[in-house]
Copies of this chain bind each other. A is one copy, B any other.
Amino acid sequence: MQIAFLGTGLMGAPMVRNLLKAGFTVIAWNRSRDKAEALVADGASVADTPTEAVRNADVVITMVSDGKAVGELIDAQGVAKAAKNGAILVDMSSIKPREARSHAEFLAGFGIEQVDAPVSGGTKGAIDGTLAIMAGGEAAVFEKVKPALAAMGRPVLVGPSGCGQLAKLANQGIVATTIGIVAEAMLLMKSAGADMNKLRDALTGGFADSIILQQHGKRMADGDFKPGGRSVLQLKDLNNLLEEAGSLGLSLPQSELQRERFRFFVENMDGGELDHAGLFLELMARQNG
């Protein structure tokens, strides 16, 4: 199976290395060519243009910054035209669900099927090959690319086209909300004279335990809000989640509350570049409001 990998940045590069280790043939392309060149030592070929990369590929993987960048690749930069009829495009970028569905429709016009497959787990997960890979698309198409995805992490087909992106937004909504309630628990204990880290310790392994309680709770206890996950991106994800919910006619009160709070934190408290655990600061600010 020949794979074209478009976008070999911080996430893409280690993902390519894991594909190569698993025995796949990879042609890499990146906007700044030197980042693709760095993968030659690992066994990748390098293409000058996206169209050159995808010409003989069975699978095209895109890992770029946003939906606009994906749209440009497949349309203006000629990927859809250049790729083989019957090729599968796996978009692992994090973009809006409706963008993913629109790309799938566009690609179908060229005989190319798409799987949206954003990831969670950061550069560590990309390096270790343990990314959570949330996929949307047709089951038969997903099965064809699953072995390649499995080289990079743990792929799960969640639902039809766009549902991988939607699952990623759902993931972000749960994270934002859990951060907020951990902040309330921490502030409550602190106000009663308890040690915030002892709460984390005491709840370990129980129903209230989570990675958020342990990692972001520690940030709150330590007052250390360097990112990590920037609040401005958390706000963007909540906006996208609620845009999608709105188009489905859904009212999601907790996500809406968190969106308003992150908006206040980013716009009124200059918290955009702080870690999303910084919502603890927004909660503190409320106490005198």
* Partner-B contacts on A (CB < 8 A): 97, 120-121, 130, 132-136, 154, 156-160, 162-163, 166-167, 169-175, 177-178, 180-182, 184-185, 187-189, 191-195, 198-199, 201-213, 241, 244-245, 248-255, 257, 261, 283, 286-287, 289
Q: Which residues of B contact A249 (CB under 8 A)?
A: 191, 287
Residue among B130, B193, B248, B286 making CB contact with A253, cutoff 8 Å: B286
How near does chain B come to A54, taking the closest CB pair, in angstroms? 27
Asked whether A199 and B181 contact (CB < 8 A) given A206-B132, A244-B188, A254-B257, the answer is no
Nearest B residue (CB) for A210: B210
CB-defined A-B contacts under 8 Å, sample of 19: A121-B206, A134-B202, A136-B194, A154-B204, A154-B205, A159-B192, A160-B192, A166-B192, A166-B194, A170-B184, A170-B208, A173-B185, A174-B185, A178-B178, A178-B181, A184-B255, A188-B241, A209-B211, A210-B210
Would B287 and A159 count as touching, CB distance under 8 A?
A: no
Q: Which residues of B contact A169 (CB under 8 A)?
A: 188
Would B97 and A208 count as touching, CB distance under 8 A?
A: no
Q: Which residues of B contact A174 (CB under 8 A)?
A: 178, 181-182, 185, 203, 208, 213
Task: Give complex CA distance A169, B185 in Å.
Answer: 9
Task: Give complex CA distance A210, B286 in Å.
Answer: 28
Asked whether A178 and B208 contact (CB < 8 A) given A184-B255, A287-B251, the answer is yes
User: How many identical chains are in the complex?
Assistant: 2
Residue among B170, B181, B208, B213 making CB contact with A255, cutoff 8 Å: B181
Would B255 and A189 count as touching, CB distance under 8 A?
A: no
Residue among B159, B173, B245, B255 making CB contact with A198, cutoff 8 Å: B159
Task: Give complex CA distance A173, B189 in Å.
Answer: 12
Residue among B166, B175, B289 making CB contact with A188, cutoff 8 Å: B166
Task: Give complex CA distance A171, B184 in Å.
Answer: 11
Task: Give complex CA distance A162, B46 in Å.
Answer: 64
Q: Which residues of B contact A206 (CB under 8 A)?
A: 120-121, 132, 171, 211
Task: Give complex CA distance A96, B104 in Å.
Answer: 55
Q: Which residues of B contact A180 (CB under 8 A)?
A: 177, 254
Task: Give complex CA distance A255, B184 in Å.
Answer: 8
Q: Of A133, A174, A211, which is in contact with the most chain B CB atoms at under 10 Å from its CB?
A: A174
Across chains A and B, which 4 residue pairs bring their CB atoms closest together, nearest first? A159-B194, A170-B185, A174-B208, A156-B202
